[in-house]
Structure 1
Amino acid sequence: MGEAVVGAAPYRRGMSYREVVSRRVLTWALVAVGARMPVAMAPLALVFLVRERPGGYALGAALAAAYVIGEIVGAPVLGMRLDPGRARPHLAAGLVAGAVGFAGLGAFAAAPAALLAAFAFLAGAGPAAVPGGLRALLTSLVPRHAAAQALSVESMLTFGVWAVSPAAVTGLALGVGPRLPLLLEAALMAAAALGLWLLPAGWAAEPDGAGGRGASKLRVLARAWPVYVTGAAGLSLLSLAELVLPALLEQRGIGVGWAGPLLTVMSVASAAGAFAYGLRSWPGRLATRSVVLMAGMSAAVCLVALIPAAPGMAVALAVAGLLQSGALLTRNLSLREALPPHALAAGYSVMYAAVGAGYAATGSLAGALLPHTTPSTAILAGVSLTLLLTAVGWWGEIRVGRSARGAGGGAGAGAGADGALGAAGGAEGAPVGGGGDAQRGL
């Protein structure tokens, strides 16, 4: 065995993005921007929408919470119902529902809070299965051995969208009107729904009985629980960086206005890390690689809490972003190997909900601690929670992998948990199938 098996392909040094460059992938990218830009814009747009009403900031936070709850509830419920061969109508219906929710918010901005919350919930829940479905569709458009490069492209696109969205919302809301960002989000989602008809109707799945298709989809998804835990850990660190950074800057005597540029540095570094990750395959098991990346990211976030000056904090955030993209992609590849193709989109949707829950849990912990301790201490407490989740996920992946090998190394759950395919399956064996994973992120 002269080469370490990584993901779905043997270890190669000279990987290239040329195999993912095609007209169909470009079309997919345009549809993905239309579907994901509204998600990235939504929380800040909701705050700007109602901030001039009495108690506007509190109402904006409540609407953002309703939106996130919609995502967390809708992702697994709707993702479980996706049919790999005929996913297009389901995805389009979700995008149309999201467009209706955003249009309702923009058109009825003065409506009672309960109605606005219902529109926000619909805007979050309706398209919640779309990121997972689009991810599965993307990796069906490229050769199987180019899945890592496809996922890297998706991550770069996602981080780019998240880097641009805050400035877009702020400029439109303050320069034109607070309703405009919501109406733009509705238009983008409606355009994405139409764009789906320029892409394949779905992605290939294994015949009945292969890869556990005859088993309950819920049980198949449950086998990948360690990957969901690791995903929640990854986004919990992002929650710390985004939500506690303004308070930390105040603690350090640095202008709060630096929070935006510092987070932009992190996003740009994440996009660069995603590009670098896709240039080659990396040695080692996916579970081990994920732990190493998460530990490095945790150390970088700890440095953010401890460094007193803005330049040093910028460097630490850049390192955290660089490692975050690698952790994201490793997690996505793990899920791609852990599930059979017919369950991939549902698995990605469950992951979407898991990372949202991790983000909310760590943010809530930090928020509860801030009135009683310093922002730096709150960040360190959040990092401790992240490391605990990482350890649980790593232990679970090793345990599930051993159980699968003991049962004969069946397709689906066992292979991806250890980051290597069964020896009989070769470099591109059966457990991988035609689907692919990033999200998300959130």
Structure 2
Amino acid sequence: MPRASYRELFTRPVLSWCAVAVASRLPVAMAPLALVFLVRERPGGYALGALLAAVYVIGEIAGAAVLGTRLRPERARGQLAFGLAGGSAGFLLLALAPGAPSAVLAVGAFVAGAAPAGAAGGLRALLQAMVPERAVSQAMSFETMLNSAIWSVSPVAAAWLALGVAPYTPMLLATVLLIAATAGLWLLPAGWQAEEHEPGNGSKARVLARAWPAYVMGAATMCLLALAEIALPALLEQRDFGVGLAGPLLAAFAVASAVGAFVYGLRAAWPGRLATQSAVLLVGVSACVTAVAVTPSVTAIAAGLTLAGVLQAGALLTRNLALRATLPSSALAAGYSVMYAAVGAGYALSGSLAGLLMSLTTASNAILAGVALTLVLTAVGLLGDRSAGRSGHRAQPSVIRAESTPVSGRSDAERAH
């Protein structure tokens, strides 16, 4: 099969998918930093913001695990629309009641995270069904670049709106975007083609569990992003820099990640197993984040975050490629949702740890503790992958390629993310 190029992705259906993806994911990308800014002026604001961000991600975990794994191909549009509308209601509560008791804000954060979480696996699976089979891997790289662009805009938007307008305005923007994404689903196919023999719930659970090393790697990847987002404003304040620099610094991280994703997708193969690639890249990102935590220079912080972004992109891609290589095509949508829950768990673990430690020690020490957690998870995932290989699972080649799917190139029953 000839290798596809990125040019094959620029079609009207894929561009419509991009619009829906941006509208549905920008609120997710803004939410953690926006929650910190929403309450930072209250007593113990940074710690409360970190805990609210963790509650938000716990909601994402629950939503992805419960809703994402139950998406039905023939009813995908309705299910996704219901979830996105529910997320807009959660953000609206946060926007209208920024001074409410912490418990009320926690409810809003949980609903905003949980309701739309099932869209993650559905939209990714739909994108893969909308492109020719040979271009699936390029589509995954393109999606990573799009996500990086979203993450580059979101911190700037959240910081500018919260500091320049009002702390609750990022929540209003998130509400409007999710409503627009709900309407935009009707520009996409209603669903996707189901396999003739879908596994039952028990069988599907066993199939999904087989990919646990990839999920652990995903959790490790997201730990570092949580550190960068949640602890960075407090670190800048600790170093006597303006907290408004958090937005541009995180934007640089995201832009660098887009560059890294593009470069990684240009090659057909990289040395080593996918899990080994993930582990090496995560160690590199950990080293960069460690440098960010201990350096006193804002220039060095910017350089460390930029290099971390380049390496982070490869870690994101290798974890998704490993998941695709492990699971049958019938379980991919559910697998992506479980991965979403796993990376959310990594975010929640690191965010909760950072929030707790920032109330007890400095932001730099909190970041170093999160790096240690990341390295532990990376080691567990790598050992699990090697153990699975020894126990009889076939080693997957580290080749970026379109693997067989049951869905043909542009059928009428393609999925909507």
Q: What range describes the TM-score normalised by the shorter chain of this pair?
A: 0.7 to 0.9
Asked if structure 2 preserves the Cα contact closer than 8 Å seen for 1:231 and 1:331, the reply is yes
Counterpart position of 1:193: 182
Cα separation, partners in 2 of 1:199 and 1:213, compared to 1, 3 Å: same
**Cα offset, 1:158, TM superposition:** 1.5
* C-alpha separation in 2, matches of 1:247 and 1:286: 35
Q: Which residue of structure 2 lines up, in the alignment, with residue 424 of structure 1? A: none
Q: Which secondary structure does the structure 1 equivalent of 2:70 belong to? A: coil
Q: Give the structure 2 partner of residue 400 of structure 1.
A: 388
Shift of 1:78: 0.6
Aligned residue in 2 for 1:265 = 252
Give the Å deviation of 1:186.
1.8
1:341 CA displacement: 2.4
* SS of match in other structure, 1:200: coil
* Alignment-derived partner of residue 225 in structure 2: 238
1:167 is matched by which residue type in structure 2?
A: V
Distance 1:420 1:60, change over 3 A: closer
Equivalent residue number for residue 377 of structure 2:
389
How many Å separate the matches in 2 of 1:264 and 1:152?
A: 19
Q: Of 321, 333, 347, which residue of structure 2 is paired with 1:359?
A: 347
Rate the CA distance shift 1:261–1:340 in 2: closer, same or farther, 3 A: same
Deviations 1:390-423 (A, max 9, x none): 12111212222343xx3xxxxxxx45x63469xx
Q: Which has the larger radius of gyration?
A: 1
Q: Tell me by how many angstroms 1:77 deviates.
A: 0.7
* Matching of residues 250-329 of structure 1 within 5 Å: 256-283=243-270, 284-329=272-317
Aligned to 1:418: 396
What is the letter of the counterpart of residue 259 of structure 2? Answer: A
Q: 2 CA distance for matches of 1:394 and 1:54?
A: 42
Contact 1:237 1:382 in 2 (8 A): yes
Aligned to 2:132: 143
Cα offset, 1:167, TM superposition: 2.7
Structure 1 Cα separation of the partners of residues 362 and 315 of structure 2:
28
TM alignment of 1:154-173, pairs within 5 A: 154-173=143-162
Q: Is the 8 A contact 1:148 1:329 kept in 2?
A: no
Cα distance between partner residues in 2 of 1:107 and 1:295? 42
Offset from partner CA, 1:279-316 (integer Å, 9 cap, x none): 23223421222222222222222333444433333222
Q: 1:174 to 1:307 in 2, by over 3 A?
A: closer
1:111 positional shift: 5.4
Matched letter for residue 243 of structure 1: I
Query: 2:135, 2:402 within 8 Å by CA — same for their partners in 1?
Result: no
Measured after TM superposition, the shift of residue 336 of structure 1 is 1.6
* 1:300-358 per-position Cα deviation (integer Å, ceiling 9, x unaligned): 22333444433333222211110101110111111122222232222112211211221
Distance change (3 Å), C-alpha of 1:33 and 1:64: same
The 3 A distance-change label for structure 1 pair 77 and 202 is same
For residues 235 and 166 of structure 2, what CA distance do their matches in structure 1 show?
31
Q: Which amino acid aligns with 1:299?
A: A
Q: What TM-score comes out, normalization by structure 2 length?
A: 0.85
Displacement of 1:94: 0.6
In structure 1, how many angstroms separate the alpha carbons of the residues matched to 2:10 and 2:120?
20
Give 5+ residue unaligned stretches, structure 2.
409-417
Kindly indicate whether residue 66 of structure 2 is the aligned counterpart of residue 88 of structure 1: no
Question: For residues 182 and 112 of structure 2, what CA distance do their matches in structure 1 show?
Answer: 14
Q: What amino acid is aligned across from residue 178 of structure 2 in structure 1? A: M
Q: 1:379 to 1:97 in 2, by over 3 A?
A: closer
Aligned position for 1:104: 93
Q: 2:141 aligns with which of 147, 152, 156?
A: 152
Q: Which structure 1 residue ranges, 5 or more long, are not aligned?
A: 1-8, 407-413, 422-426, 436-442
Residue in structure 2 matching 1:183, options 172, 176, 186: 172
Structure 2 distance, partners of 1:291, 1:65, is 25
Of 11, 25, 39, 2:28 maps to 39
Please say if residues 40 and 162 of structure 1, whose CA atoms lie closer than 8 Å, have aligned partners that are also in contact. yes
2:354, 2:44 → 1: CA distance?
23
Q: Could you list the per-position Cα deviations for residues 68-123 of structure 1 after superposition, in whole angstroms to 9, with x for gaps in the alignment?
A: 22112111011121113431111111111112222333345565554443333222
Whether contact under 8 Å (1:67, 1:123) holds in the other structure is yes
Deviation at 1:171, TM superposition (A): 3.5
Specify whether residues 207 and 213 from structure 1 end up closer, same or farther in structure 2 by C-alpha distance, changes over 3 A only.
Answer: farther
Instruction: Between 122-131 and 58-67, report the one with greater CA deviation.
Output: 58-67
Alpha-carbon distance between aligned partners in 2 of 1:162 and 1:49, rounded to the nearest angstrom? 19
Q: Is the 8 A contact 2:32 2:229 kept in 1?
A: no
Percent identity of paired positions between Structure 1 and Structure 2: 61
2:330 counterpart of 1:342: yes
Match of residue 118 from structure 2: 129
Deviations 1:258-299 (A, max 9, x none): 443332221111111112222232234212222222222222
Find the aligned partners of 1:68 and 1:96 in 2 and give their Cα distance. Answer: 18
2:208 matched residue in structure 1: 221
Contact 1:213 1:340 in 2 (8 A): no
Tell me, yes or no, if the aligned pair for 1:237 and 1:301 is still in contact at 8 Å. yes
What SS does structure 1 have at the residue aligned with 2:383?
helix
RMSD of aligned C-alpha atoms? 3.1
